[in-house]
Amino acid sequence: MEKTKLAAPSSVPRHVAIIMDGNNRWAKKRLLPGVAGHKAGVDAVRAVIEVCAKSGVEVLTLFAFSSENWQRPAEEVGALMELFFSALRREARRLNENNISLRIIGDRSRFHPELQAAMREAEALTAGNNRFILQIAANYGGQWDIAQAAQRLAREVQAGHLRPDDITPGLLQTCLATGEQPLPDLCIRTGGEHRISNFLLWQLAYAELYFSDLYWPDFKPRPCAMPWPISLRASAALVRPASRSRLELVLNA
């Protein structure tokens, strides 16, 4: 595939953020172990990446593992780490072939060194790609993000490189984990919960929020030949139920 930058029509959100919730409940409903739900969720990730990339969305940020997820049972956390590691190894090549850049945001210090190395390798492999940016939030929390940005600026003040009066909302924003990326236009949460759960607290200040009752593994946009214009304002939401178990993108010219 030729590595050229796709320009997004004005009706397409530049940045979509998704809280992928409901994997465990999806598995429980089918009398399966929780890890089966997380594995099924990988297929939904691939489908959403394809739709966003072909639509001209510039950035997709997925909430994969929150800082609160460490409180889950040790067996489940271990299975999630193994799944994350294997997915990085497998999917990084596919992302690179499709000219997609991978960024991982969050506090990596708690991850196993081997997993940290896999993160760096996947990011390095895809660093030169410019069609679309996929951001994975791992061991991420919005409060942590704001605190680490404030700490960075405090160190600059302490070193004499900044004055307190130099610190503006815009400057602080550049120090967040998302850096210079455009702010999210739309945040989707699956699984029926109506909250943002410490995800991108600063960045979502003006984003539109869409809450779906579908569990994440069932949230699979319709595959098609793209690009499609996506209208945020002309339709009730980005997605709507096409049946009781699936969603399709609402597409308006």
What does the pLDDT read at residue 78? Answer: 85
- How far apart are alpha carbons 148 and 4 in whole angstroms? 34
Catalytic residues: 21, 69
Pick among 3.40.50.170, 3.40.640.10, 3.40.1180.10, 3.40.50.300: CATH of 15-249: 3.40.1180.10
- How far apart are alpha carbons 86 and 80 in whole angstroms? 10
For residue 14, which amino acid is it?
R
Q: What is the mean pLDDT of each run of 10 residues along the chain (253 residues)?
A: 45 91 94 90 91 91 88 82 88 94 95 94 96 95 97 97 96 96 94 96 94 92 41 38 34 30
What does the pLDDT read at residue 41? Answer: 92
Cβ atoms < 10 Å from Cβ of 100: 22
Show me where the domains of the chain are located. Answer: 15-249
What does the pLDDT read at residue 222? Answer: 58
Tens of pLDDT, residues 15-46: 999 999 999 999 999 999 888 999 999 999 99
